[in-house]
């Protein structure tokens, strides 16, 4: 789960990271008022969306008067910002953050990520902050410092000092940098984050180390033990298909293709998407309905997949291990009878009681296209999606 910049800053500040004074606003008037409260004569108005690259897309504006803040935020509110991280549909702006503008002399990149190879938290930093890490690694790969943290002891001072030295932080500010690095690491570990990114972390004109931007992502599977973090969820920033799936306990990722997938097991769901691509099609989603595959879950899955208007065929791929294919087949038949869909449905069943399962599908009278192997299922799904749907007939059961 992602959170907003102002939320990440509030959290990191509690762990000892220094951030500029700022305030949140839900309207242009409030933004101007917040600036007056903050004081000073220069402010930055920042669109609060779950995406980076706002600076280049008009989501970060430097203002020198309340009037300018009002104007700049009036443009932002209610509009959608499109950056390289949002996709073409962009993200809606419903909150802006007003911050005292800070003159700085250097921008540093600081990121903490989970490194799956070493199975540790990895600190990634660069003296070339301000640009995206992808651009830094393309243009100045030599400037990137990487350091993995031994989980048993956490981020030690000597290690943090070493990072500060390799970034060329002036000696007088080493201790501030150590505190920043250790604060980020502790926030990452204690709150079950999967990513903390400060870009830019700046050295101010008056020699302070300050987080001008902040992003945090949390492990969804650990949110149950951090209710205060779970509350920060902002559905306005999520793909509506994914929000409704999450609310129903289904693991769903929306994609842009046309073949909807209903699969049990994450690995099988990945393999199903690969096979659809191999057969020349494009999957519309990743969906793992989990074990069980009861009629209720199958029905929920059909409703969810069909709520995507791009879906022109549905591939159901179930492997029954502990489960039984005949029960799953019953589930599919009941789901389709209760919620008819008007696109071709391809079903591949494998595992326990597969013969009985296929018999149930055949006896149902529903125009379900059956397949035995995964490759065959993917080819039939792509074929069905390509062919004239009228010729294939529709899965529609008279009321």
181: tokens are: 């690095």
Query: Looking only at residues 200 through 219 of this chain, which bind Mn ion when binding is defined by CB under 5 A?
Result: 213
Distance CA 186, CA 166 (A): 21
49: tokens are: 């969306």
Closer residue to ligand GDP (CB): 96 or 287: 96
Kindly report the backbone phi and psi dihedral angles of residue 312, in degrees, each rounded to the nearest multiple of 5, phi listed first. -120, 0
Q: For the CB of residue 51, give the shortest distance to ligand GDP in the complex, in Å.
A: 7
Chosen from Mn ion, ligand GDP, none, partner binding at 90 (C-beta under 5 to 8 Å by type): none
Residue of 127, 159, 199, 285 that binds Mn ion (CB under 5 A): 199
Closer residue to ligand GDP (CB): 144 or 271: 144
Chosen from Mn ion, ligand GDP, none, partner binding at 86 (C-beta under 5 to 8 Å by type): none
Q: What is the DSSP string of 301-354?
A: HHHHHHTSTT--EEEEEEEESSS-HHHHHHHHHHHHHHS--SS-EEEEEEETTH
Active site residue 66: no
Grouping H, G, I as helix, E, B as strand and the rest as coil, residue 291 is coil
Residue 128 binds ligand GDP (CB under 6 A):
no
Point out the residue whose Cβ comes nearest to Mn ion: 213
**What residues contact 238, with CB distance under 8 A and at least 6 apart?**
50
Residue 102 binds ligand GDP (CB under 6 A):
yes
Q: For the CB of residue 130, give the shortest distance to ligand GDP in the complex, in Å.
A: 4
Binding string, residues 202-231; x marks residues near ligand GDP by CB under 6 A: ----------xx------------------
Name residue, tokens 């505190």.
179
Strands (E) across the chain are located at 22-25, 43-47, 60-63, 80-81, 91-92, 96-100, 104-115, 120-126, 144-148, 193-204, 209-211, 215-218, 251-254, 259-263, 285-288, 313-320, 345-351, 369-371
Which one from 197, 252, 330, 379 is the annotated catalytic residue?
Answer: 197
Grouping H, G, I as helix, E, B as strand and the rest as coil, residue 11 is helix
Residue of 101, 122, 306, 392 that binds ligand GDP (CB under 6 A): 101
334: tokens are: 């009941």
Q: Give the interface size with Mn ion as a residue count (CB under 5 A).
A: 2
Query: Looking only at residues 4 through 63 of this chain, which bind ligand GDP when binding is defined by CB under 6 A?
Result: 20, 44, 46, 52-55, 60
Active site residue 197: yes
Catalytic residues: 109, 197
Q: Which residues bind ligand GDP (CB under 6 A)?
A: 20, 44, 46, 52-55, 60, 99, 101-102, 130, 199-200, 212-213
Q: Which residues bind Mn ion (CB under 5 A)?
A: 199, 213
């Amino acid at each position: 789960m992602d959170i907003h910049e102002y939320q990440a800053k509030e959290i990191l500040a509690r762990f000892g990271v220094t951030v500029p004074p700022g305030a949140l606003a839900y309207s242009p008037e409030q933004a101007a008022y917040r600036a007056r409260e903050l004081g000073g004569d220069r402010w930055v108005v920042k669109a609060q969306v779950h995406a980076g690259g706002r600076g280049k897309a008009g989501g970060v504006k430097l203002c020198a008067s309340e009037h300018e803040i009002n104007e700049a935020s009036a443009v932002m509110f209610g509009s959608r910002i499109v950056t390289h991280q949002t996709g073409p549909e962009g993200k809606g702006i419903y909150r802006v953050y007003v911050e005292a503008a800070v003159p700085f002399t250097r921008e540093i990149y600081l990121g903490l990520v989970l490194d799956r190879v070493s199975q540790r938290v990895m600190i990634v930093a660069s003296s070339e902050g301000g640009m995206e890490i992808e651009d830094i690694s393309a243009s100045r790969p030599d400037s990137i410092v990487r350091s993995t943290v031994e989980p048993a002891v956490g981020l030690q001072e000597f290690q943090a000092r070493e990072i500060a030295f390799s970034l060329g932080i002036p000696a007088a500010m080493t201790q501030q940098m150590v505190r920043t690095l250790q604060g980020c690491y502790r926030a990452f570990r204690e709150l079950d984050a999967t990513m903390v990114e400060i870009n830019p972390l700046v050295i101010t004109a008056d020699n302070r180390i300050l987080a001008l931007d902040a992003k945090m992502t949390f492990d969804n599977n650990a949110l149950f033990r951090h209710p205060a973090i779970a509350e920060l969820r902002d559905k306005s920033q999520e793909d509506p298909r994914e929000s409704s799936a999450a609310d129903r306990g289904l693991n769903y990722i929306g994609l842009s293709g046309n073949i909807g997938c209903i699969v049990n097991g994450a690995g099988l769901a990945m393999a199903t998407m690969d096979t659809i691509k191999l057969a020349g099609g494009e999957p519309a989603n990743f969906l793992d309905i989990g074990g069980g595959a009861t009629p209720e879950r199958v029905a929920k899955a059909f409703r969810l997949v069909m709520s995507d208007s791009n879906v022109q065929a549905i591939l159901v791929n179930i492997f029954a291990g502990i489960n039984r294919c005949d029960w799953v087949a019953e589930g599919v038949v009941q789901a389709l009878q209760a919620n008819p869909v008007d696109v071709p449905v391809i079903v591949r069943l494998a595992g326990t009681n597969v013969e009985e399962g296929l018999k149930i599908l055949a006896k149902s009278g529903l125009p379900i296209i059956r397949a035995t192997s995964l490759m065959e299922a993917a080819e039939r799904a792509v074929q069905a999606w390509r062919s004239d749907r009228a010729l294939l007939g529709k899965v529609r059961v008279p009321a």
